[in-house]
Amino acid sequence: MSCCTPPVFVLILLLLSSIVVCSDAWALVPTTTPRRWARRTRTTRGHPGVSPDRRRVFVDMVGSHRDAEELVETTETIYTPEEQQRIAEIHAEASAENGTLRDAVQQALPTLPPGLILKLGRSTSHSHERVQQVALELEHIMDARVQQAKETLKSLLDAGEIRKLDSLIGQAQRDGKLDVPFFNVIQANLRDAMATAEVAQEGEANRAQVLQHIYTRCQEEMEKAIPPGVALLNKVLRTEQASIRRNLYDHYLTPQKNVVRTPDGREVKLQGEKPVLVQLDTFVSAIADAVKQIRTVEVAGATDRATAANLVESCRTIAKEARVVIGEKYGVPSDELQAFELGLQPVFRPDSPESPYVKGET
């Protein structure tokens, strides 16, 4: 079962944030791998999705270059009345605050629907002046974000030593630099590095291995800053081995024995149990939100139906695996298992075609 490939994690991350313009040609960081890098860098199987080619396209949510090109050709540039109203509101906010249009677009960006962002990404030459102005300002904002992301990645590549790298990644997370543009820049560089197939000398790591290590560490750092349920979902989504996922469910979703280990290696059991690290209801909410967001992006036209269905099926598989572990730990007739099942029933068995788990969030 391949429910846990890196593109799924990136998709969830993109859905939780804004969408960003990214082009392979100008997202690459022209730097060489420092020779001080050791081969002991950690890697992930495969690599993140591929950014679109050099066209003004907002990052594809699927990780497929072909799908991204098709999206460019098929996305409508006709704006609904609601979208026209939102664009007018952005202009009005800029006038009301006596600020610039760019500031207004920057402030509104986190609240813009994915479909509207996709359309604006193709509207820098739109015939309607207001639409064109907002699209151009949005493009400038995205350009600046990608440039910052390139600088951040270059500083990580130049670290040259594992401990220094970990420190820099932690600082980048605290400064809010591990954002969507940053992950897209890593994707573009990973694609380039793997295509060039650089061969490392003995005892050294090639550029692709270093980038994969940075990608994995940045994922782990991001998981520290997001809610526990979402962090666990991301963790199991990027874990391929079913046996390891099972250990994660058991460790995070069920009570653990209160044991201390003595210096001579013996285990001493204490009274009581350690508290559950991730409450079941928060994990249910994380899965439900992920499915809702996937459907939202599908309805917006940012991914095709088959891809969205596969992603939802990945979430369903995780829910089924977790259910088995919860049932074994608490018992089949337990309140915990029943609450877990009831919480996910409307997600995977919606009672109406108008359900947000079918239609997405409006």
Per the CB < 8 A criterion, the answer to whether 50 and 191 are in contact is yes
Phi and psi at 268, nearest 5°, equal -115, 120
Element (H, E) at 281: helix 280-300
The alpha carbon of residue 97 and the mean position of all alpha carbons in its chain are separated, in whole angstroms, by: 33
Lowest mean pLDDT among 6-15, 93-102, 158-167, 233-242: 6-15
Residue 320 has pLDDT above 90, yes or no: yes
> What are the structural domain ranges in the chain?
6-225, 242-359
Decide if 14 contacts 303 (C-beta within 8 A).
no
Q: Dig out the tokens for 228 from the structure.
A: 């526990």
Give 234 or 201, the one with higher predicted confidence. 234
Nearest-5° Cα angle at 77, 76 to 82: 100
Do the Cβ atoms of 97 and 106 come closer than 8 Å? no
- Sorting pLDDT into bands at 50, 70 and 90, what band is 190? confident
Residue 316 phi, psi (nearest 5): -65, -40
The pLDDT value given to residue 30:
63
The percent of residues above 90 in pLDDT, for the chain, comes to 31
For residues 240-275, b (16+ Cβ closer than 10 Å) or e, as one string?
A: eeeeebbebbeebbbeeeeeeeeeeeeeeeeeeeee
As given in the structure block, the two tokens for residue 123 are 């509207």
**Integer Cα distance of 286 and 294 in angstroms:** 12
Q: What is the mean pLDDT of residues 251-256?
A: 90
pLDDT band (50, 70, 90) for residue 206: confident
